[in-house]
Amino acid sequence: MIAIYPYDTLVGDVRMSVGSVVIDGKSLSTNYIDPDLPEIAFRDLEADHWEEAMIDVTVTAPAGELSGNATWAEPTAVVQIICSYSNSRRVVALPADTHSPGRWHGSVMLARDEWYGRATMRALATATVDEVAHRVIGSSEPWVLSFDDLPPSPVHGSLAVQWVDFPNDAEHGLKPFKNDPQHLRLDPEAPVLYLNSGFEGLEALLGDRKRRPHAEQALHDSTRANIAGDAWQAMFVTALEDVEIDPETGMPEWPTQEWRVVVLKTLFPRIYPHLGPEDALVEAVQARGSGESFSELLERLLPAAAMQVGTSAFLRRGIALLEKDAETKEVES
């Protein structure tokens, strides 16, 4: 999707490069910095207790455009890092290169205990436009910062995940699903995602490992994202079905179980981006009672769940990994 702004933006590209990474005062090997993906793979480090990372970055933007547009004043560059898993966000302004217009260079410091899972890092070119400071006039392609593997729960810890040998299960009633890789049980009090340890190869594929072959990493990411996406969809539909109407006001009431409220409020902004939570709840309940409107809601739910778990990002990463393997094989042959 291309963002449209009510003012002039750059036609040329904003680019961001990573020069080096320093972990607790020691330089990180370039084996962990991949400009082709692009990614910094902190999760592959054989060190679980590092405290601080300093990322050296350079940002460039078309100097001719910056100087030739009279509506842009004081162009600057910042680095923006966002991590949905740890709910962390940081914006760092970069010093301008006094000898090279359209170039900024600096360092971004990250404290290890503030980040989890995967974050995105991108450069934003900003300027004062129509007397409004810090308006975005361009952005770079994002880098991925991989701190840990995907979180085991797609609902911020609200969903329990348990490995069970489905074919031999005598406790959870999972034998009928012995050929399935997973089963989501939507208990009213708390949902549970069961993963089938009897499904050959699944436990090894989904388990946390520091380093994987590229093809295996691509399959690992896509499988976990698909499982999480399916869980989000099922939980959303269940949560919406649990919404009741207040007989006095005629307005829908949020479910009594907290996890259902969390699911609805998490996905509503992606399904109804222009509505607040209360209005989105009304819209969804109205759609629930209409066949055509409910079909439209489900159409919106699929990409919303995929966006929530980052399916597209993992797919792009997987394709890049496979392409890199193919290029390596061509060089070797």
- Rounded CA-CA distance 37/143 in Å is 8
State pLDDT tens for residues 209-238: 666 788 888 888 889 889 989 999 999 999
pTM of the model: 0.58
The answer to whether the beta carbons of residues 42 and 32 sit under 8 Å apart is: yes
Q: Which domains does the chain have, with CATH numbers?
A: 15-146 (2.60.40), 160-317 (no CATH)
Residuewise pLDDT in 10s, the chain (333 residues)? 456 678 889 999 999 999 999 999 999 999 899 888 889 989 888 776 889 999 999 999 999 999 999 899 999 999 999 887 677 889 999 999 999 999 999 999 999 888 877 889 999 999 999 889 999 999 999 998 988 755 444 444 457 788 999 999 988 899 999 999 999 998 877 888 999 999 999 988 887 666 678 888 888 888 988 998 999 999 999 999 999 998 888 899 999 888 899 899 989 999 998 888 999 999 999 998 877 788 999 999 999 998 888 888 788 888 888 887 777 776 666
* Residue closest to 157 by CA, chosen among 254, 253, 263: 263
- Rounded CA-CA distance 144/150 in Å is 13
